[in-house]
Amino acid sequence: MTDFETLLRDWLSHLAHERRLSPKTLEAYERDMRQFAAFLEGHLGQPASIAGVAALKPFDLRAFLGQRRRENAGNRTLMRQLASLRSFARFGERRGLLTAAAFVATRGPRLGKSLPRPLDAGAAKAMSRPDIRAGEAREDWVLARDAAVLALLYGCGLRISEALSLTRAQAPASAGDALTIVGKGARTRMTPVLPVIVAAIADYLGQCPWRLPPEGPLFVGVKGGPLSPRIIQLAVESLRGGLGLPASATPHALRHSFATHLLGRGGDLRAIQELLGHASLSTTQIYTRVESGRLMAAYDAAHPRAGR
């Protein structure tokens, strides 16, 4: 094992056990570093090593980003890869093995600030109705399951990974119950559960043909194993066609809709931040821009003096 490989493994262990990053984030960071190591072997003419990394200049790092660009990596991917490299370099610097100066000095691509694209309230509610897909060749319990998951995304503002990580023991039994959610960065939050969501989950549980042990997953696939996020994504793709919704109507758009609709009805921004599990209020504030845009669009469409 090379010294680069040893440092890489130590860094990934640090991210997993001390920083407590999610498995998917760790996969992405390791993939970034593997791609970087492959680039260095061609760029420097020898396998990646700590000495080789320590001698890199911003020019070398820009060459890596340029190669990834030619491989059709988008701006967000490039920014994440640069963040991976910086984190790795800082970790090595703390170990006294290299310096992070070249990595910090390298500028990444500019990111355009895209706003979340929520659904309107009617579409968001329709997506969590099992009867909306009644014509599909799916068992009734599967339709009830998908509807319950989508009801959680819109009614509680959950990420799809958060909804699918719930256990049977966490299923709300009555209105007024709250869910304890462990989100990004291992941040824990409480979110209240509306009666309509309790009813949707009860409908699914009443039809589910599988025995669900208390510590097992609440939502299962047709063979009784954990439900894949891809199944819910495919269900939403089907709903897009049936409801005439745009491609931006995804499971995550229901979380955006949750926040935007709360804000539009006078919800407190700090409370919405807590419900979403955002670490920073600035992350939540983007929904104020969405709501302002919707208000201005309504003004321009309806006010007699608009545009005149």
CB 69 within 8 A of CB 117: no
Specify the CATH class of 3-105 in words: mainly alpha
Which CATH topology does 121-301 take? hpI Integrase; Chain A (1.10.443)
CA distance linking residue 138 with residue 235, whole number of Å: 11
For the chain, the average pLDDT equals: 87
For range 173-189, the mean pLDDT? 85
pLDDT of residue 264: 84
Banded pLDDT at 300 (limits 50, 70, 90): low
Q: Which of 14, 90, 125, 252 is catalytic?
A: 252
Task: Give the type of residue at 297.
Answer: A
**303 given a catalytic annotation:** no
Q: What confidence tens digit (pLDDT) does each residue in 194-238 have?
A: 999 999 999 999 999 999 999 999 999 999 999 999 999 999 998
Place of tokens 């043909």: 209
**287 given a catalytic annotation:** yes
Residue extents of the structural domains in the chain = 3-105, 121-301
Buried b (16+ CB within 10 A) or exposed e, 140-151: ebbbbbbbbbbb
pTM over 0.95: no
Q: Which of 117, 184, 240, 294 is catalytic?
A: 184
**252 given a catalytic annotation:** yes
User: What residues contact 45, with CB distance under 8 A and at least 6 apart?
Assistant: none
Q: Which of 80, 145, 159, 189 is catalytic?
A: 159
| DSSP conformation class of 222 | T
Q: Which of 68, 80, 145, 255 is catalytic?
A: 255
**294 given a catalytic annotation:** no
